[in-house]
Structures are given as structure tokens and as C-alpha cells.
Amino acid sequence: MSVTGLRAMLGIQWRTHRRGTLIWMLALIAMLVGTAGSIAGLFPTPDKIHSYAQAATAGDALVVINGRVEGIDSLGGIIADEFGFLAAFLLPLLGISLVTLVTRSEEEAGRLEALLAGRVARHVPVLAGIVLASSAIFLTAIAFALGLIAVGVPATRSVLYAASLGTLAFVFAGLATLLAQVTLHSRGVYTWGLLILGVAYVLRGVGDVTKTWVTWLSPLGWAEKAAAFGDMRWWTLLIPLAVGGLLAALAVLVAGRRDLGSALVGGGASSPRATPWLRSPLGLATAIHRPAILAWLAGAVILAGTMGSLAQQFINAVLGNAAMAETFGLLGAQPVDGMVALTQLYIAIIATGYAVQAIGSLRGEETAGRLEMRLSGSLSRVRLLAAHGLVIAIGLVVIVVVASIVLAAGMAWSLGTAVDLGRILSAGAAYLPAELLVAGLALALFGLWPRAFPAIWAGLAGVTFIAFLGPGLKLPTWVLDLAPTTHVGNPPLGAVEGLPLVVLGAIAAVLGGAAAIGFRRRGLPQN
């Protein structure tokens, strides 16, 4: 197969996507190295490492979330365990997004057509995409390894762990190249990619808890079974390399044979009329935000259901293990409350992520030029903003409430007793002001400095990092205080005070007001 134009194509893809690619790589490297550095500082002695290992392996709940890390009784093992949850999502996402951005997105935008009219063979953009993504993943893995060696993890184990993460990203990059050929839109690539990732996560979780071969069905399991801090099975790296390579090769083959702009999965016909509801400002806003609401709701429900149904195991672990209780600050407290508090924090982050993405969709309406069309009618700017704000806020409440109910139901099933639904719901509700504050920040950016909107994603990453890993890594108080979730008070384990919630809510309201004023006064559209 010819590779005409491969060099030119690589140059173009790198030139047009280098910024996003570098940001992805640097963010991931910073997260892993930061986590590793903090853990090295927190667990300086074998004794401390040992007590952590005991705590983390005592219950199935944590095994589901972070995976079953072989050789957790070591510095590297703790790092792998702590980084397990983020790594399971971020590395596959890295692979998926790098590939999608340079393949289907470009084709959808019509830019690929111009390039293919030049001296570029039809399958070459796909080939270049996988080469570029693989190179970025390779460099990220090298940085991972160097970072781990720097904090004192043995060199060979560092390299194997970094390689296992890199090949994990590679499998999903290969998957995305194929999905980009069979679905018509980049949205489809993300949807199917994330769906498969979700299945992989569940399979790995089930396999790890039941200690069966099921783990081997999941790409996440392959990375885990490399056992960088245990038996060091180098050969497991061949599985993701082979699967990813095969998927990519298939994609290149398909790309060489199909028509430009076509796909195996096409779009069908649908209703030629809009209902009165869809024609109303609220109805259209609902249609715009519904995909995000459903996707994030699904994520929150899966998490809450999994955690809830493992409640009994979690409690057994805490009751039988003082070290674990201490690790989670549960000493002398109700283990049920600890479980709820942990889950509600995860739900809160999911809900916040949803809100940011939904406001991002509103910004997307502007950059796509649809807001201009919409505001050329008799709908005022403030009413439009209010309609979107209301729909986004309702979606937020729905996610929190439904996830809380699912958590309660799962716990009731697992524990075999009635649980206090009101207590679980109010813990979820206590996070609403914090979630709204981040949403308000996003909305204010949209209203006042729309071009700076992407900055909110960095803010969300910061809040997520602090909320998940901040207390565990014993970050300074002022850093913890930067995340609004810190001020909620870890309900129901900790006591929730009214004043901080009122302050959070008031700040959110002020930001919302500023957004409305800014949006009313600024020129449209700003691209």
C-alpha cells in the first residue's frame, strides 16, 4: 500500500493540532508525576506503605474503582492504585480524542476533501492520525517512566507501568481510528468509544472482584495484568499492541476503500415537523442539552449503582480493618456514612463536569453561528440565557437526585436493610451550591469573555484533582480551599454548615447575574 503524502499529512496534522496535543500530554504527565511525588512524600517508610496496602485491598469497593493492583505493597503499587481511576478514563480518552480530532472531525468539517484532492492517498490521513497519536502516547509514556524513576520507583518497574498505560491509550487510539471510519460524525466516535470504555471498566471491575478470567476481556485488565509492581508480565503488553494495531490496520483498509464523507452507519429519516415544545425557547434548549444530560446521568448512575451494591463489602472491610478506617477518616464514624460521603463526592464532580459541558454547548451554539440565527428573532438575549440556564440547572438536579436514589437503592439491596434516603439525598443536595458556583463561573466566562471559555476546563480539572486526591495527598489547606467542594463539609460523614453553602450559592448567583449583564451588552457572535 502506498504512503503518498504521509509526510505532508503528518506535518499538517501536527501543525493544526499540536497545541491541543501538547496540552493533553502535559496535563497527563503533570497529574501522574504530581500524584507520584506526593505519594512518595506521604509514604516514606515500608511500614506506612504496608498499612496503606492493607487498607486498599481490604474491601471490594476500592478494587472496583481503582483495580486490583498486584504488588500494592510498594511505592509504585500505591501510585498505581491512587492513579488507577483517573488513568482508566484519561488514557483511553487521550487515544480516542487524538485520533478523532485529526480524522473524522476533519472529514466532517470538509477540510479533508481539500487535502485528498492533493497528492495524498485516501488512506493516508488515517495512517498519519494513528502515527501521530502513537507518537504522542509514546512520548507521554516515556515522561511517565522518567517521572516515576525520579520519585524512587525501580527503573524496570517504572518502564513497565508506563508501557502498560501507553499501550492502554494505544488500544483505544486504534479503536477510534476504526470507529472514525464506520460512524459518520465525530460525536459517534466519542459515543461508541466511551461506551466501549464503560464496558471495559465494568468487565475489569467484575473480573477483579470475582478474581476470574473476566478481567482479561478488558483492555483495562490487560494493563493491570502487566503487574508492573508484582510479577512483571512483559508479554501482556503484546495484547494491546496487537489489538490496537489490528484495529488501526483495519481502519486504514476501510479508509482506502470507502467514499469520502461516507460511513457504514448512516443517518435515517425522522420527523419533518417540530412539536410546539421544540419550537419554544425551553424546548429547544432541552433538545440541545439532552445528550449531555443523559450521558452524564448514565455515568453517575453506573457509579452510584456500583458503589451502592458493594456497600456490604465496604462496611465489612472498614469494620475489620482499623488502618482502612483511618485512611478514609472513618475511625469511630458510621461506615455507611463514609461510603455515602465518598460516593456523593464522585457524583458531585460528575454533576459539575456535566454543567461545564452544557454551558460549553451554549458557547458552541455561538461559535457555530446558531445563536446569531436564534437571536435575530423576537427572543431576547436574557430570555434565551434564562431558558438555557434553567434547563442546565434542572439537568444538574436530575443527575444528583437520580444518582442519590440509585445509590440508596443499591445500598438497601446490598445491606438488606432500609437506608435513610433523606440523608443520602440531602448529602447530594448539599453539593448543589458548589456545583452551581463552577457553573456560574463558566456562565460568567460565556457572558463576559467568551473567547476565554476553554479556561473553565482547566478549572474543572483542578477542582477534580483537589477533590479526589487532595485530602489523600495531604495538600496544604489553602490549596484544598480552592475547590468549592471542600467547603461543603463532606456530608453526611462531616457536619454541613449552612453559612458556607449560602456563601457558595450567593457567589453562584452573582456570577449568573454578571453573565446575564455581560451577555446583554456584548457583540454577537464572538468567534
Partner 1 sequence: MHASQSVIRAERLTKTFGKVRALDGLDLDVAPGEVHGFLGPNGAGKTTTIRIVLGLMRASGGHVELFGGDPWRQAAMLHERLAYVAGDVALWPGLTGGQCLDVLGATHGGLDEARRATLIKRFDLDPSKRIRDYSKGNRQKVALIAALATDADLLVLDEPTSGLDPLMEQAFQEVVRERREEGCTVLLSSHILGEVEALADRVTIIRRGRTVTTGTLAELRRHTRTHVHAVTVDAPAGLADAPGVADYVSGRLDGHVDSRFTIDAEHLDDVVGMLHTARIHTLTVTPPSLDALFLRSYDGDIGPLDAAELGDPVDAHR
Binding site for partner 1 (CB under 8 A): 184-185, 266-267, 269-274, 278-280, 284, 287-288, 291, 368-370, 372-381, 383, 523-525
CA distance 92 to 169: 5
Shortest CB 199 distance to partner 1, Å: 25
- The smaller minimum CB distance to partner 1, of residues 452 and 510, is found at 452
* Run of H or E including 136: helix 124-150
- Taking the complex as a whole, how short is the minimal distance between the CB of residue 99 and partner 1, in angstroms? 20
Q: Bridge partners of 373?
A: none
Cell of 514: 454578571
Of 332 and 523, the one with the shorter C-beta distance to partner 1 is 523
Query: Which amino acid, residue 236?
Result: T
State the minimum distance, in angstroms, from the CB of residue 265 to partner 1. 12
Q: Which is nearer to partner 1, 368 or 482 (CB)?
A: 368
Residue (135 or 367) nearer to partner 1, CB: 367
For partner 1, the closer of residues 107 and 435 by Cβ is: 107
Name the residue nearer to partner 1 (CB basis): 238 or 373. Answer: 373
Distance CA 401, CA 419 (A): 15
Distance (Å, whole) CA 43 – CA 50:
9
Nearer to partner 1 by Cβ, of 276 and 476: the residue is 276
Collapse the DSSP code of 254 into the 3-class scheme (helix H, G, I; strand E, B; otherwise coil) and give the result: helix
Ramachandran angles phi, psi of 422, nearest 5°: -60, -40
37 or 291, CB closer to partner 1?
291
Q: Is 265 helix (H, G, I), strand (E, B) or coil?
A: strand
Would you say 2 or 270 has its CB closer to partner 1? Answer: 270
Q: How far apart are CA 161 and CA 148, in angstroms?
A: 9
Burial 485-511 (b: 16+ CB within 10 A, else e): bbbbbbbbbeebeeebbeebbebbeeb
Q: Maximum CA pair distance of the chain?
A: 71
Closer to partner 1 by CB, 372 or 497: give it.
Answer: 372
For the chain, the residue count is: 527
CA-to-CA distance for 317 and 60, rounded, in angstroms? 8
Beta-carbon-side half-sphere exposure of residue 473 (alpha carbons within 13 Å) = 23
Residue of 375, 185, 196 whose CA lies nearest to 267: 185
Peptide bond into 276 cis (omega under 30): no
- Pick the closest to residue 120 from 260, 321, 274 (CA basis): 260
Q: Which residue has the cell 468539517?
A: 109
- Read off the C-alpha cell for 478: 489553602
Closer to partner 1 by Cβ: residue 1 or 274: 274
C-alpha cell at 307: 458503589
Give the 3-state DSSP-derived string for 358-383, with helices as H, strands as E and coil as C.
Answer: HHHHHHHHHHHCHHHHHCCCCCCHHH
Distance from C-alpha of 141 to C-alpha of 167, rounded to nearest angstrom: 9
